[in-house]
């Protein structure tokens, strides 16, 4: 008859591969073999948090006292104000580009409607540049800042039939 004490004592004998490296086996292979054997035996089944998403991104060291507030916003599908403003700028810019592109295709550059369309587009770009200025003030660092929109470049892209990336 085998007692619980005997099973515990016999366990290392049943898995000698976990006790030492094989001759000529590197550390990486040894560790990988241990992991595979433990996985095959079910050692990783029923771990705490099994089936739940991992928080892979590290805590932002620049958030400081705002870390909890940002986590709550993120968990609820919101983002910091400067990111929401960036999304708004991108949406409005895309909509304005499509609108001007449609006007260009519909009327062409020689029609009387084209200068009015360009004037309206110029007003929209001025408003977006104001939003970009505000965004750049709110962004946490220079690497996040956006360039202002150049009206001439945008009009040239429409005439060339492309839709420019930011």
* pLDDT (0 to 100) of residue 1: 47
Task: Quick: pLDDT tens for 103-128.
Answer: 999 988 899 999 999 999 999 999 99
Q: Domain limits of the chain?
A: 1-55, 81-159
pLDDT of residue 4 exceeding 60, the answer is no
pTM over 0.75: no
pLDDT of residue 164 exceeding 50, the answer is no
Crossing angle of helices 81-107/113-138, nearest 10°? 170
Task: Quick: pLDDT tens for 144-162.
Answer: 999 999 999 999 999 888 6
């Amino acid at each position: 008859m085998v007692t619980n004490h005997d099973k515990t004592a016999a366990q290392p004998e049943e898995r000698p591969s976990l006790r030492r490296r094989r001759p000529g086996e590197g550390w990486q292979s040894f560790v990988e073999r241990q992991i595979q054997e433990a996985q095959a035996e079910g050692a990783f089944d029923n771990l705490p948090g099994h089936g739940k998403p991992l928080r892979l991104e590290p805590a932002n060291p620049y958030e400081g006292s705002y870390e909890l507030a940002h986590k709550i916003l993120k968990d609820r599908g919101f983002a910091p104000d400067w990111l929401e403003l960036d999304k708004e700028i991108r949406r409005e810019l895309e909509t304005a580009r499509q609108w001007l592109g449609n006007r260009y295709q519909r009327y062409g550059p020689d029609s009387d409607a084209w200068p009015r369309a360009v004037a309206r587009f110029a007003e929209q770009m001025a408003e977006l540049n104001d939003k970009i200025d505000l965004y750049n003030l709110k962004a946490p660092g220079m690497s996040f800042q956006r360039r202002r929109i150049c009206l001439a470049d945008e009009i040239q892209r429409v005439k060339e039939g492309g839709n420019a990336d930011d």
